Amino acid sequence: MTVIDKNLFDAVETELLRFTTAGSVDDGKSTLIGRLLVDTKGVFEDQLDAAKSVEDKKGAKGAHLALLTDGLQAEREQGITIDVAYRYFATPKRKFIIADTPGHEQYTRNMVTGASTAHLAIILIDARKGVLTQSRRHAYISRLLGIPHIVVAINKMDLVDYNEEVYDKIRQDFIDFYSKLDLAGGDVTFIPISALEGDMVVERGNKMDWYNGPTLLEKLESAPVEGKINAADFRFPVQYVSRPQTEALHDFRGYMGRIESGSVKVGDDITVLPSGLTSKVKGIVTWEGDLQEAWAPMSVTLTLEDERDISRGDMIVHTANQPRVEKEISTMLCWMHETPLQPGKKYLIKHATTTVKAMVTALVERIDVNTLEQIAAPSELKMNEIGRVSLKLLKPIACDAYADNRATGGFIVIDDFTNMTVGAGMIQ
């Protein structure tokens, strides 16, 4: 950031990329994030000094990189990452948000959380150990959550003499396993790195001339951001109905919400779901003035030609392009609470802007996140387990398959007695 780019002044050309890092401390995940922050000047001197003073006490080389990212007292004491932490850095090309998540199996729910908003996932593999069970788990979760770009960062290359053959073998092992995933696809990039020494992270270094691909930062700066959003299907969940009823706005009735996917123009024919009422878009109202067209992920206010009974929880869509409206859904579910999910139990689900009661009618199977084996009809789904579940809803919802549309295919499960968020679902 020592170069003052013109973007600093108008900020019109920088995009925002969100990525997640999966891996354990042993893989050098915290070191990698620390390296990215330090080499892009995403960390301030006083924060670096504080981390270095702890390193001096502990005496481990490079430990300050990891210490930069451990937020909670308990984490610093135990040297582990417990929860999802969010980090920020910028280059003249882009702004980045990192969802830093722990990699062990007992933190699958944290990984799922971090993955839910990411455009890109970095899967860290220790070059000395190769593709492990946890690498498979991370790849599976990344694909299950619909992350379009996957970077397999083969780390600790300094400990294997920057050997190309080691890299090639790990790459091939990963491809062999990955191609068998029924969720395979997306863009996968392999990068050999040393987070500790800095090779191929921000700087190329001079130890791996045999590698011609992008550095990690080059990949982060060039992966398309739009990939996360479905551009074809206009989906507008109504958040809030604005009726100011002031003198100047006596008859104003606007539907406030965020365009979750696709785009909308004034004059478009729309249908309101689940009721099926139809109308036309009269105006797209914003603070800056009325727009002719708006697209995801903009937050806007729509007005319609006709007065219709529309409230929070309804979804406005193009009449010619409608999602499913269903009361019974089949879904993948990641369970997130100590009290297991059981067939027959009732929960609340929050999907887009609607909250509805749901009953678990069947627990079809559990997926072993390590072997990807399917276990039919388990009796319950424990914390950090992922399974396929059938739900019956009290009221129908307008939804798409998660694989087609993250915004209208994802939902959270809330326990209506404790109010805890207990699960995350991806509609099939």
Partner 1 sequence: MTKKTLTHLQTLEAESIHIMREVVAEFRNPVMLYSIGKDSSVMLHLARKAFAPGPLPFSLLHVDTGYKFKEMYEFRDWYAKEVGAKLIVHRNEEAIAQGAHPLKLGVARCCGALKTKALLDALEAGGYDAAMGGARRDEERSRAKERIFSFRDEFGQWDPKSQRPELWDLYNCHVHEGESIRVFPISNWTEMDIWQYIKLENIPIVPLYYAKERPMVKRGNMLIPGDDPANLKEGEVAENVMCRFRTLGCSPCTGAVYSDATTIEEIVAESAIATRSERETRIIDHGSNSMEDKKKEGYF
Considering only residues 6 through 45, tell me which ones interact with partner 1, judged by CB under 8 A: 8-16, 44-45
Question: Between 16 and 394, whose beta carbon lies closer to partner 1?
Answer: 16
Partners of residue 85 on adjacent β-strands:
100
Q: How many CA atoms lie within 13 A of 344 on its CB side?
A: 2
- Residues 322, 314: Cα–Cα separation, whole Å: 13
For the bound state, the minimum distance from the C-beta of residue 351 to partner 1, rounded and expressed in Å, comes to 8
Q: Which residue of 22, 201, 315, 407 would you call a contact of partner 1, by CB under 8 A?
A: 407
Q: Which residue of 60, 232, 249, 377 would you call a contact of partner 1, by CB under 8 A?
A: 249
How would DSSP label each residue in 141-185? Answer: HHHHTT-SEEEEEEE-GGGGTT-HHHHHHHHHHHHHHHTT-TT--
Partners of residue 332 on adjacent β-strands:
388, 426
Residues in the chain: 428
Least Cα distance to 263 among 231, 302, 239 occurs for: 231
Q: Does 236 bind partner 1 (CB under 8 A)?
A: no
* Stretch 251-270 residues interacting with partner 1 (CB under 8 A): 252, 254, 256-258, 263
Q: Which residues contact 4 (CB under 8 A, 6 or more apart)?
A: none
Question: Between 24 and 81, whose beta carbon lies closer to partner 1?
Answer: 81
Question: Which range of residues in 178-186, 197-205, 295-303, 390-398 is near partner 1 by CB under 8 A?
Answer: 295-303
For the bound state, the minimum distance from the C-beta of residue 98 to partner 1, rounded and expressed in Å, comes to 10
Q: Which residue of 336, 341, 363, 369 would you call a contact of partner 1, by CB under 8 A?
A: 336
Q: Which residues contact 326 (CB under 8 A, 6 or more apart)?
A: 393, 396, 397, 399
For the bound state, the minimum distance from the C-beta of residue 3 to partner 1, rounded and expressed in Å, comes to 9
260, 408 Cβ separation under 8 angstroms: yes
Terminal C-alpha separation, the chain: 44
Partners of residue 101 on adjacent β-strands:
22
Question: Between 45 and 182, whose beta carbon lies closer to partner 1?
Answer: 45
* Stretch 121-150 residues interacting with partner 1 (CB under 8 A): none
For the bound state, the minimum distance from the C-beta of residue 111 to partner 1, rounded and expressed in Å, comes to 11
For the bound state, the minimum distance from the C-beta of residue 38 to partner 1, rounded and expressed in Å, comes to 12
Q: Does 246 bind partner 1 (CB under 8 A)?
A: yes
For the bound state, the minimum distance from the C-beta of residue 262 to partner 1, rounded and expressed in Å, comes to 9
Q: Does 74 bind partner 1 (CB under 8 A)?
A: yes
Question: Which range of residues in 154-162, 201-209, 246-254, 373-381 is near partner 1 by CB under 8 A?
Answer: 246-254
CA distances from 347 to 57, 109, 383, 392 (A): 49, 18, 16, 10
Q: Does 318 bind partner 1 (CB under 8 A)?
A: no
**Per-residue x/- track, 83-112, partner 1 (CB under 8 A):** xxxxxx-x---xx-x-----------xx-x
